[in-house]
Chains A and B, each alone.
Chain A
Amino acid sequence: MSTPFPAPDDHIHSESFLRSLMRRQLRLSVAAASTFLLALMGMPLLNYFGPELMSTRIGGFTLSWLVLGVLFFPFVWIIAWVFIRRSISLEETEVQEIDELRQKRSVKKSSVR
Chain B
Amino acid sequence: MLLLSAIDPWILAFSLVTVLVTIWMGFRSARNSKSAADFFVAGRSVSVGWNASAISGEYLSAASFMGVAGMVMSSGYDALWYPVCYACGYLFLLLFIAGPLRRFGAYTIPDFAEGRYDSPVFRKIAVVFVLFIGFFYTMPQMKGAGTTLSYIFPGLPYWAGVVLVGAVITLNVALGGMKGITLVQAFQYWAKMFAISLPIFVLMAVYGGYGNNLGVNGDDKSTVYATVAGTNNVRTLSGITNIAPEAQIRAPLPAKAPADNIWLSPFGPLTTKAAKAAKLDNTKSRPYALLYTYSLIIALVCGTAGLPHILVRFYTNPDGAAAKRTTMWVMILIGIFYVFPPVFGVLGRNWMPTLYDGIGVNGTDGIVLKLPVLLREKYGVLGSVLSGITCAGAFAAFMSTFSGLLVSMTGALAHDVYGRMLRPQSTPADRMRMFKFAAVGIGIVAMLLGSLVENFEINFMVGQAFAIAAASYFPLLFMSVWWRGMTVTGAATGMLTGGLLAVGAISLTSWTTFITTQAAKFKSLGISEPTWFAMLKPYSLTDYWAARPLLRILCEQPAIWAVPLAILLMIVVSKLTASRVPTDIRMKMLVLHAPEKLGLKQEYIREHEAHGH
Contact flags A62-75 to B (C-beta < 8 A → 1, else 0): 10110011101110
Instruction: Give the distance in Å from the alpha carbon of A44 to the alpha carbon of B292 in the complex.
Output: 10
Contact flags B321-348 to A (C-beta < 8 A → 1, else 0): 1001101100110011011001000000
Cβ contact of B95, chosen from A29, A40, A92, cutoff 8 A: A29
Q: Is the interface of B mostly helix, strand, loop or mixed?
A: helix
How far is the CB of B563 from the nearest CB of chain A, in Å? Answer: 14
Cross-chain pair count, CB within 8 angstroms: 148
How far is the CB of A113 from the nearest CB of chain B, in Å? Answer: 25
Complex contact A29–B96 (CB within 8 A):
yes
* A-chain residues with CB within 8 Å of residue B46 when the two chains form the complex: none
CB of B211 within 8 Å of the partner chain:
yes
How far is the CB of B288 from the nearest CB of chain A, in Å? Answer: 12
Interface extent on A, as a size class? 35 or more
Complex contact B589–A80 (CB within 8 A):
no
Residues A84 and B328 in contact in the complex (CB < 8 Å), given A41-B297, A61-B211, A62-B265: yes
* A-chain residues with CB within 8 Å of residue B325 when the two chains form the complex: 84
* A-chain residues with CB within 8 Å of residue B482 when the two chains form the complex: 22, 26
Complex contact B590–A13 (CB within 8 A):
yes
Instruction: Give the distance in Å from the alpha carbon of A54 to the alpha carbon of B264 in the complex.
Output: 11
* B-chain residues with CB within 8 Å of residue A13 when the two chains form the complex: 586-587, 590
CB of B20 within 8 Å of the partner chain:
no
Residues of chain B at interface, number, CB under 8 A: 61
Instruction: Give the distance in Å from the alpha carbon of A22 to the alpha carbon of B339 in the complex.
Output: 36
Complex contact A73–B339 (CB within 8 A):
yes
Contact flags B179-222 to A (C-beta < 8 A → 1, else 0): 00000000000000000000000000000011111111000000
From B106-114, B527-535, B591-599, give the one contacting chain A. B591-599
Complex contact B331–A76 (CB within 8 A):
yes
**Known A48-B290, A84-B94, A94-B594; 9 more pairs at CB < 8 Å:** A3-B606, A40-B301, A44-B266, A47-B267, A65-B80, A65-B214, A73-B84, A77-B335, A94-B598
CB of A105 within 8 Å of the partner chain:
no
CB of B24 within 8 Å of the partner chain:
no
Complex contact A54–B590 (CB within 8 A):
no
Complex contact A57–B91 (CB within 8 A):
no
> Of residues 36 to 59 in A, which have CB atoms within 8 Å of B's CB atoms?
36, 40-41, 44, 47-48, 51, 54-55, 57-59
How far is the CB of A18 from the nearest CB of chain B, in Å? Answer: 6
> Of residues 47 to 92 in B, which have CB atoms within 8 Å of A's CB atoms?
77, 80-81, 83-85, 87-88, 90-92
* A-chain residues with CB within 8 Å of residue B85 when the two chains form the complex: 40
* A-chain residues with CB within 8 Å of residue B327 when the two chains form the complex: 80, 84
Complex contact A79–B600 (CB within 8 A):
no
Complex contact B266–A64 (CB within 8 A):
yes
* B-chain residues with CB within 8 Å of residue A33 when the two chains form the complex: 91-92, 95-96
* B-chain residues with CB within 8 Å of residue A26 when the two chains form the complex: 482
Instruction: Give the distance in Å from the alpha carbon of A94 to the alpha carbon of B297 in the complex.
Output: 35
How far is the CB of B465 from the nearest CB of chain A, in Å? Answer: 21
Complex contact B264–A73 (CB within 8 A):
no
Contact flags A89-113 to B (C-beta < 8 A → 1, else 0): 0011011001000000000000000
Complex contact A40–B297 (CB within 8 A):
yes
Instruction: Give the distance in Å from the alpha carbon of A76 to the alpha carbon of B356 in the complex.
Output: 33
Instruction: Give the distance in Å from the alpha carbon of A68 to the alpha carbon of B404 in the complex.
Output: 29
Q: Nearest chain-B residue to A46 (Cβ)?
A: B266
How far is the CB of B305 from the nearest CB of chain A, in Å? Answer: 11
Residues A1 and B331 in contact in the complex (CB < 8 Å), given A44-B266, A69-B342, A94-B594: no
How far is the CB of A1 from the nearest CB of chain B, in Å? Answer: 6
Cβ contact of B211, chosen from A15, A48, A60, A68, cutoff 8 A: A60
How far is the CB of A44 from the nearest CB of chain B, in Å? Answer: 5
How far is the CB of A45 from the nearest CB of chain B, in Å? Answer: 8
Complex contact B87–A60 (CB within 8 A):
no
How far is the CB of B601 from the nearest CB of chain A, in Å? Answer: 13
Residues A98 and B96 in contact in the complex (CB < 8 Å), given A40-B301, A65-B214, A65-B264: no
Complex contact B215–A60 (CB within 8 A):
yes
CB of A7 within 8 Å of the partner chain:
no
Q: Nearest chain-A residue to B342 (Cβ)?
A: A69
Complex contact A73–B214 (CB within 8 A):
no
CB of B607 within 8 Å of the partner chain:
yes
Residues A65 and B603 in contact in the complex (CB < 8 Å), given A32-B95, A88-B321, A88-B324: no
